[in-house]
Amino acid sequence: MKPLQQKLAQYTAPQEAKSKGIYPYFTPIESEQNTEVIVSGRKVLMFGSNSYLGLTNDPRLKEAAKRAIDKYGTGCAGSPFLNGTLDIHVELQERLAEFLGKDGVMLFSAGFNANAGVIPCITGRNDYVVYDDRDHASIMEGKQLTFAKTYKYKHNNMDDLERVLGQLPEGAVKLVVSDGVFSMEGDVAPVDRMVEICNRHNATLMIDEAHGLGVFGREGRGTCDHFDQLPNVELVMGTFSKSLASVGGFIASDKDTINWMKHNVRPYIFTASIPPASTASVLKALEIMRSEPERRQALWDITNYALKAFRDLGFEIGNTQSPIIPLYVRDYDKTFLLMHLLFEQGIFVTPVIPPAVPNEETLIRFALMATHTRQQVDYAVDHIYQTFKQLEIL
C-alpha cells in the first residue's frame, strides 16, 4: 500500500459507527422530500430537511422543470462564461436582482461554490477577511483558500467584531463575512449592528442568506431585510436548495462588483451552469414564495409551536430564533445513538458533530417546514423527550 492510501486507511470512524449499528449518514430515501418520507419501505417523519417552505414536491415546480427539459434538454454542457448561459438563467438573475434591490446577480451551480469561490477571488495578499467563528463550512473553505490575512471574532459578539476591525489598517480592504441564520444553532446575526460597525471601519459586509431566504424579511427576502439593512449589505449570498426547493446558489451585489466577479471567480467561470430544470423550478418557487405569504406564516406558526413545546419540557435549545431548533446532547456517542433510536421510532433528525460544532456542543438538529402539522410535531416532541430521558440527557 502506498503512503497516501496508508494514511487514508487509518480513518475508521465510519466503520466503528456501523459496527455499533448507529451510523447515521447516506440514508437512501425512496420518496419525494416531504414531511413524511419513505426509507426502507416505511414512512418516517422528516425533521431533517431544509425545505422550509415545503415546495420540493409542489406540482407547479415539477411542471416547470418538465417544460424546461422539453425545451432545453437536461444540461447546459458548459459554464456561464462560455456556452452555458440560457435565457432562463438571465431571467432568474434579473428577478433575483430586482427582488433584493441589487444591480446584478451571479448564479452558481452550488451555494458552497458561491462562498468558497467568491471570498478568495475578491480578496488578496494585502487584504483582510474577518469571519464569525461559527460560519458555515463553505465560508471557512473560502477563507482558507484566500491569500488575505484572516481573523475570526466570537460568535455573534459585536464587541469582538469591533475589536478585530479596530486592529486592522484603516485604508485596507476588509471583508466581513457571516451567516444570516446559523445553520446548526438556528440563531440570527445582528445585521443592523454589523452594518453600523462595518461602516465605522470602512469594511465591506457579506451575508450568507442560505437559511434566511424565504424565512425572514418581506416576502422572504432574508435577514438583511428583516433588519431593514438590505441596501446597506454589499454582498448577499443565497442558495436554491432550501426554501427555493432546487439546487444552486447566487451572489447579489453592485454592478462593478458583479462585473469583476463574472470575469474572475474561477468556480463560476470553470463550472457548468445550473441545469435548465433546476433553473425553471427556482423561478417558479420564487414566484410562489412572493405570492403566497401564508406559507411563511404557516412556517412561523409551526416553528413557534415547536419552540414552546421543547422549552416547556426543559430542552436546551440555545438562542435559536428560526425553524432550526438545536437539541443539545453534548455527548458524541449519545448523539449518534439518539439519532438511531429516534429513527427506529419513525423520526428522521440529523446529528451534528465536529467540525460543524465544537466537541462539547454536539446536538440533534430539528428543522421545520411550513407543511408540518401540529400532530406531527407532537409525536416527534414526545418521542424525543422520552428518548432524551432514557439516555439521561434530560
63 and 24 fall within a common domain: no
Q: What is the mean pLDDT of residues 337-345?
A: 94
3 state SS of 267: helix
Give the tens place of pLDDT for each residue, 315-339: 999 999 999 999 999 998 899 999 9
Q: Identify whether residues 72 and 192 lie together within a single domain.
A: yes
- Inform me whether the pLDDT recorded for 51 exceeds 90: yes
Helix, strand, or coil (residue 14) = helix
* pTM, rounded to two decimals: 0.96
Assess contact for 177 and 233: CB atoms under 8 A: no
The string of DSSP letters for 147-159 reads SSEEEEE-TT-HH
The domain tally of the chain equals 2
Tell me whether residue 298 is in a domain. yes
Whether pLDDT at 304 is above 90: yes
Q: What is the mean pLDDT of the chain?
A: 96
Q: What is the mean pLDDT of residues 228-241?
A: 98
pLDDT at 21 over 90: no
97-131: pLDDT as tens digits: 999 999 999 999 999 999 999 999 999 999 999 99
Domain-terminating residue out of 291, 321, 337:
291
User: Cell 418581506 belongs to which residue?
Assistant: 218
Residue 27: the pLDDT is: 92
Cα gap 225→254, rounded to integer Å: 17
Helix and strand numbers (H, E) in the chain are 15, 13
**Is the pLDDT higher at 353 or at 69?**
69
The size of the chain, in residues, is 394
Amino acid 151: pLDDT: 98
Listed residues 291, 323, 354: the one ending a domain: 291
Residues 252 and 206: their CA atoms lie apart, in Å, by 10
pLDDT value of residue 194: 98
User: Given a cut of 90, is residue 243 above it in pLDDT?
Assistant: yes
Could you tell me if residue 276 is left (phi over 0), alpha (psi between -120 and 50 degrees) or otherwise beta?
alpha
Task: Copy the grid coordinates of residue 227.
Answer: 433588519
Q: Are residues 333 and 219 in the same domain?
A: no
Amino acid (one-letter) located at 127: D
On the question of pLDDT at 86 being above 90, the answer is yes
213 within domain boundaries:
yes
> 193 and 307 share a domain?
no
Q: Would you say residue 309 lies in a domain?
A: yes
Query: In whole angstroms, what is the distance from residue 189 CA to residue 74 CA?
Result: 38
Q: Do 261 and 383 belong to one domain? A: no
> The domain spanning residue 372 has which CATH number?
3.90.1150.10
List C-alpha distances in Å: 104 to 114, 137, 251, 306. Answer: 15, 25, 8, 38
Residue range of the domain that includes 341? 10-46+293-390
pLDDT tens, residue by residue, 198-223: 999 999 999 999 999 999 999 999 99
Cell triple for 107: 448564479
